[in-house]
Amino acid sequence: MPTSLNLNISEQSSKSEEILLQDLSTYKNKCIFYNNFPYIRAMYRTGSRDFWKTYKVIKLGYYLPVSKFTRKISYQIPNNYEIKTNLAGLTVRCKTQYQQAGNINYTISWINSYGNTVSSDSTISASNVGVKFLMDISRMEAPNHGKHPYIELKFNSQKKKRIKLAAKDLNIQTAELFCNHQFVNLLGNNIVRLESAKLKIANTDITLDYQLKNEN
């Protein structure tokens, strides 16, 4: 995640500006940020492949008298800086918080499948908390975690609930997929909406209609 953009709200331009954060001829992994505050679109290039992410700044935070700096590029890291984005198909919030000892606690929080807010933390680096986040969701959000196979479900209510949960995940991951392929507007918002999908589950035809109001 972008740790710091050194933005000043009072100096924001109405036009998008391109900020080159790394020397493209020097680093293997490169990124360019397109700023249309509070939305940020970042392109990460690894080898010949480009990957895009969209961020929304929730809090700019503030700089302490004694601050730490990013490693590869010397950017000052603000305290209480918070952004919102999508990672691994989940809507997450990423935040920095300085500790009394002077180190920084990096946090990624999200709402799990039970509706509870959970988080991954690291005082090492933003990259490290990203790794911990992926490990945590693989452990807590695994599709088969505590679930019986669909074909073993005996009641229609159980099958219906399982299909609705899978349909919700499909919608989230589809939105992430199209964002990665740049189906977005100037603010970085997705312009594609999943309206329906047809499935065949154990010789049974299922139609998912995302335009209907969800049932409780």
Residue listed under structure tokens 């964002």: 179
Checking if the pLDDT of 61 tops 70, the result is yes
User: How far are the Cα atoms of 113, 151, 205 from residue 156, in angstroms, in the given order?
Assistant: 21, 11, 14
Confidence (pLDDT) at 17? 37
- pLDDT, average across residues 157-186: 81
For position 178, what pLDDT does the model report? 80
What residue has token string 């590869």?
Answer: 72
Domain boundaries, the chain: 9-140, 150-209
pLDDT tens digit string along 105-159? Answer: 999 999 887 788 999 999 988 888 988 998 888 777 555 555 788 888 888 888 8
**Residue 197 in this model has a pLDDT that exceeds 70:** yes
Measured CA angle at 26 (ends 182, 122), to 5 deg: 70
* pLDDT range class, residue 31, cuts 50, 70, 90: low
Residue 9: predicted pLDDT: 31
pTM over 0.75: no
Task: Please give the share of the chain, as a percent, with pLDDT higher than 90.
Answer: 19
Higher-scoring residue by pLDDT: 76, 189:
76
Q: What is the pLDDT of residue 8?
A: 35
d(CA 83, CA 103): 20
Q: Taking a C-beta distance cutoff of 8 angstroms, is the pair 134, 110 a contact?
A: no
> Which tokens sit at 191?
């312009």
Q: Which residues contact 110 (CB under 8 A, 6 or more apart)?
A: 90, 91, 92, 93, 117, 118, 119, 137
So what's the pLDDT on residue 181? Answer: 77
Q: CB under 8 Å to 126, separation ≥6 — which residues?
A: 1, 3, 94, 96, 106
DSSP string across 97-128: EE-TTS-EEEEEEEE-TTS-EEEEEESS-HHH
Question: What is the predicted pLDDT for the residue at 147?
Answer: 72
Look up tokens 């010789």; give the residue: 203
Cβ within 8 Å of residue 65, ≥6 positions away: none
Residues 6 or more apart in contact with residue 160 via CB below 8 angstroms: none
Choice between 131 and 47, residue whose per-residue pLDDT is larger: 131
Strand pairing class (39-46; 117-122) = unpaired
CA 202 – CA 209 distance, rounded (Å): 20
**Under DSSP, is residue 9 helix (H, G, I), strand (E, B) or coil?**
helix
Give, in order, the Cα–Cα distances in Å from 192 to each of 174, 178, 203: 9, 7, 30
